Amino acid sequence: MLCNMINGRCTHCGGAYGGRCQLSKEPNTRQGLGDLTERLLKSAGITEDKWKEVKARFGFAPTCACKSRKEWLNNVSKAFLKN
């Protein structure tokens, strides 16, 4: 969980920065490239269901390899972060 900043201070932990809340119980997990891509596309209104709908409308099979592509992108980004 990120800090909930009000007047320059987190309302939970009292920290003066806008990073990860010090009182958060969530593990410190870094999102991979696949997770970020999914979030970006969803914010633009492009979801897995919407993609399948568009493909079907143009006569293509309404399938999606979103999960495998997301996993691949996450693995690739993890490989680059190790070095």
| Every domain of the chain and the residues it spans | 1-29, 31-83
DSSP, res 18: S
Residue 70: is its pLDDT beyond 70?
A: yes
Closest CA to 67 of 27, 37, 43, 45: 37
Q: Is the pLDDT of residue 12 over 60?
A: yes
Residue 9 has phi, psi (to 5 degrees) of: -135, 145
Does residue 27 register a pLDDT over 70? no
Cα-to-chain-centroid distance, residue 26: 15
Q: Tell me the C-alpha distance between 4 and 37, whole Å.
A: 25
For 32-66, the pLDDT digits (tens) are: 899 999 999 999 999 999 999 999 999 999 998 99
Q: What's this model's pTM, rounded to 2 decimal places?
A: 0.57
Q: What's the angle, vertex CA 82, arms to CA 81 and CA 83, rounded to 5?
A: 90
